[in-house]
Structure formats: structure tokens, C-alpha cells
């Protein structure tokens, strides 16, 4: 009665697709499987062990950014009003000659050749209300973009650290804790990405006269992609202001340019493989995007970026507080004179990095294990 069953009077928990995929926490992590040295060899070991988690995170990217599907429906033309236009560029000339009184017997064969028409969606300003609603709903992507990136960055960071993952709690908990910072960061991120891609496309079309600007736009895009490796991970790891996150991300992008470039090449390889599959059979490319690409690119970026953030921001925090450092990531830092206060090198606490309070999750994990 009143929603109770025969199992001790407890109400049965309602199962959903999300709870089926993400509510189970798994068997845990063996101590021998924890990666401490983030080198090239261990990358493939960890990638193989975390294959299922990468697919799950990819699905979080896709489902969490659901407004993109409204945009795809809007631009597909299936719901738009259609107009007709001639396929051949010569048809207006032939039509004008016929209207001016040209010989019909001569123009008729030409009209048969060049008089074919095709349909196309009309401009959004004169399209039907349904398409305008779809475009409006797609703007929700500006809200979900930062939230999903922040949550997936938190989960992927813990994946790289080989820490336990509590899928539902971590995903929604990260959104709850960071939404005030994640939403404006996502809006800025999406806007800058769009402007970068648009600039590359524009300068490519005008390459003969603006080839210098084309290469400048490529460099700008690459540096910003390097910054994206760190932005959301810093956000969910440190209590830091909006502009300090951007500043630190830019410093990491330049200071660790060698490792960042290696990650960029790996991400480009993933994209290239997807394009090859799509060229061979389009559904294969679509499947790779839906289940693999975003998770794999995030894994590559985080695997390269996290050891650098640990070395220059997290380890100094532990040193300052008299606690033991996390295990070495493969770099020899014992003789580094620039190891100092949290979030920075040296004694001035911020010669290169602006300090922020490091948020540790150890106590939270202990409480969950109980």
C-alpha cells in the first residue's frame, strides 16, 4: 500500500537508462593497476584498461549536449519551407531571351537542357515557426556545453588518476558545485571555438590574398586547443577565479607546448581515422563519433595535461601543507629550485601561476567507501 512492496516496506527504485549505465560503481581498482608514471608506454596500458569508461564518458558528452540534435534537425531542411531554383546558371539568360521575344523553336531545346530545378530550404527569417523553435532550442547548447565539459573533465581526471568513479554522483555533483563557473566558461568556450573555425574557413577561401592570416588563424586555433586541455580540469580541481583559470591555462599551453603538441597530434589522428571510416562507409564514421571520438580525445588531452598540472600546481600544495607528495609522474623534480607554494613556482607564490585553493576529494571518497 502507498507505494510499498513486500521487501521490508521499501519503495522499489525506478530504473532509467542513465541509472542502468551509470549508477553501478564497478568492482573497484586494483592497486597494481594504478598508473604512476605517465609515459608513452603506460598510455596504451591505461587506454586498454579504461576502454569502457572512455565509451561511457563519450556518451555523457553526446547526451549531455542534447541541444545539438535540435540544430541538426533545423539545418537538415526536413522541417523547412522549400523553394525552387534552376540548377544551371544559364537558365536565367535563356528565360530572359524567351521573355524578350526570342525564337521559341531555338530556345526550347536549350530550356530542356538547362531548365531543371532543385528545391532548397528558405532563409530562416521567412521559414516556418517550427524551424525557428528548433533553432531557439539549439541555443541551450550554450548552457549545457560548459556543464558537460566540466563534469566530464572531473570524471576523466579521476580516470587518469585511477581513482574510483561514482558516475551519477560525480556527474551531477560536479554540475551542482561548478555551474556558476561552468556556464560562462562554456559560453566563452563555444564562442571562441566558433570564431576560430570561422576564421580558418574564411581565410582559406581567400588564401591567395590572406595566406598569412590563414596561418595565423591556425596557430591561434592550436594554442586555444592547448588551453582547453587545462581549463575545465583546473576549474574542477582548484578554487580559482574565472580569469585566473584562463591565465593559467594559457601559461600551461605555452610552457608545456611539446607535450601539448603531442596530444594535439593524437587527437588529429583520431579525427583522421574517423574521416577515413566515414569516407569508406558514412554510418561507421557516425558510430565512431557517437561512442568513441569525444571520449578518446578527452582521454588523450587529460593524460598529457594532468601530470603537468600535478607537477606545477598540486604537488606544491602538498609541499606547502607539509603533506606527502603524490607519486612521481616520471619527471625528475627533486632538484627543481622552483618548487614552492601552492599554485606557483618559488617564494613569491605565483611567478608563473596564480594560486588557488586545491580541492582534494580524499575524504569524500573515504565516506563513500563506508
> Is residue 131 assigned to a domain?
no
- Give the range of the structural domain holding residue 212, as residue numbers without chain letter: 17-65+143-359
Q: Which pLDDT does position 37 carry in this prediction? A: 86
> Is residue 283 assigned to a domain?
yes
3-class SS string, the chain? CCCCCCCCCCCCCCCCHHHHHHCCCCCCCCHHHCCCCCCHHHHHHHHHHCHHHHHHHHHHHHHHCCHHHHHHHHHCCCCCCEEEEECCCCHHHHHHHHHCCCCHHHHHHHHHHHCCEEEEECCHHHCCHHHHHHHHHHCCHHHHHHHHHHHHHHHHHHHHCCCCCCHHHHHHHHHHHHHHHHHHHHHHHHHHHHHHHHHHHHHHHCHHHHHHHHHHHHHHHHHHHHHHHHHHHHHHHEECCHHHHHHHHHHHHHHCHHHHHHHHHHHHHHHHHHHHHHHHCHHHHHHHHHHHHHHHHHHHHHHHHHHHHHHHHHHHHHHHCCCCCCCCCCCCCCCCCCECCCCCECCCCCCCCCCCEECCCHHHHHHHHC
> Is residue 259 assigned to a domain?
yes
> Is residue 277 assigned to a domain?
yes
| Cα angle, residue 191 at apex, residues 67 and 223 outer, rounded to 5° | 125
Q: Which pLDDT does position 319 carry in this prediction? A: 72
> Is residue 6 assigned to a domain?
no
- For residue 315, what are the CA distances in angstroms to 163, 222, 310, 327? 17, 28, 6, 10
Is residue 266 very low, low, confident or very high in pLDDT (cuts 50, 70, 90)?
A: very high
What is the C-alpha separation between 286 and 41, in angstroms, rounded?
Answer: 30
Q: Residues 343-352: what's their mean pLDDT?
A: 34
Minimum mean pLDDT range among 259-263, 283-287, 350-354: 350-354
- The answer to whether the beta carbons of residues 162 and 34 sit under 8 Å apart is yes
| Cα angle, residue 197 at apex, residues 192 and 203 outer, rounded to 5° | 120
Q: Which pLDDT does position 197 carry in this prediction? A: 95
> Is residue 2 assigned to a domain?
no
What is the residue-averaged pLDDT of the chain?
Answer: 79
Q: Which pLDDT does position 331 carry in this prediction? A: 42
More confident position, 104 or 52: 52
Q: Which pLDDT does position 360 carry in this prediction? A: 47
Q: Residues 199-219: what's their mean pLDDT?
A: 94
- The answer to whether the beta carbons of residues 343 and 353 sit under 8 Å apart is yes
Number of compact structural domains in the chain: 1
Predicted TM-score (pTM) of this structure = 0.75
> Is residue 330 assigned to a domain?
yes
Q: Residues 119-127: what's their mean pLDDT?
A: 72
Q: Residues 187-210: what's their mean pLDDT?
A: 95
Amino acid at each position: 500500500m502507498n507505494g510499498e512492496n513486500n521487501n521490508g516496506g521499501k519503495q522499489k527504485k525506478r530504473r532509467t537508462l542513465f541509472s542502468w549505465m551509470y549508477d553501478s560503481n564497478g568492482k573497484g581498482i586494483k592497486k597494481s593497476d594504478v598508473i604512476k608514471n605517465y609515459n608513452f608506454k603506460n598510455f596504451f596500458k591505461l587506454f586498454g584498461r579504461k576502454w569502457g569508461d572512455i565509451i561511457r564518458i563519450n556518451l555523457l558528452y553526446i547526451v549531455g549536449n542534447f541541444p545539438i540534435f535540435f540544430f541538426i534537425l533545423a539545418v537538415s531542411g526536413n522541417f523547412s519551407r522549400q523553394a525552387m531554383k534552376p540548377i544551371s546558371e544559364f537558365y536565367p539568360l535563356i528565360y530572359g531571351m524567351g521573355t524578350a521575344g526570342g525564337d521559341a523553336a531555338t530556345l526550347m531545346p536549350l530550356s530542356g537542357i538547362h531548365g531543371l530545378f532543385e528545391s532548397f530550404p528558405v532563409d530562416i527569417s521567412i521559414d516556418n515557426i517550427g524551424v525557428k523553435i528548433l533553432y531557439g532550442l539549439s541555443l541551450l547548447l550554450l548552457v549545457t556545453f560548459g556543464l558537460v565539459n566540466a563534469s566530464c573533465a572531473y570524471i576523466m581526471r579521476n580516470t587518469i588518476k585511477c581513482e574510483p568513479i561514482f558516475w551519477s554522483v560525480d556527474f551531477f555533483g560536479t554540475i551542482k558545485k561548478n555551474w556558476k563557473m561552468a556556464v560562462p566558461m562554456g559560453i566563452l568556450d563555444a564562442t571562441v571555438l566558433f570564431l576560430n573555425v570561422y576564421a580558418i574557413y574564411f581565410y582559406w577561401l581567400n588564401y591567395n590574398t590572406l595566406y598569412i592570416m590563414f596561418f595565423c588563424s591556425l596557430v591561434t586555433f592550436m594554442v586555444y586547443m592547448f588551453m582547453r586541455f587545462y581549463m575545465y580540469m583546473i576549474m574542477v580541481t582548484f578554487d580559482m577565479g574565472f580569469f585566473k583559470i584562463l591565465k593559467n591555462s594559457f601559461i600551461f599551453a605555452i610552457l608545456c607546448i611539446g607535450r601539448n603538441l603531442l596530444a594535439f597530434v593524437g587527437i588529429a589522428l583520431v579525427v583522421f581515422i574517423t574521416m577515413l571510416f566515414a569516407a569508406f562507409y558514412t554510418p561507421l564514421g557516425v558510430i565512431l563519433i557517437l561512442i568513441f571520438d569525444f571520449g578518446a580525445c578527452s582521454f588523450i588531452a587529460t593524460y598529457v595535461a594532468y601530470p603537468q598540472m600535478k607537477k606545477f600546481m598540486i604537488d606544491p600544495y602538498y609541499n606547502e601543507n607539509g603533506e606527502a607528495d603524490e607519486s612521481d609522474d616520471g619527471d625528475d623534480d627533486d632538484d627543481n629550485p622552483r618548487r614552492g607554494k601552492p599554485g606557483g613556482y618559488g617564494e613569491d607564490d605565483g611567478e608563473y601561476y596564480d594560486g588557488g585553493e586545491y580541492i582534494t576529494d580524499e575524504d569524500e571518497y573515504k565516506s563513500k567507501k563506508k
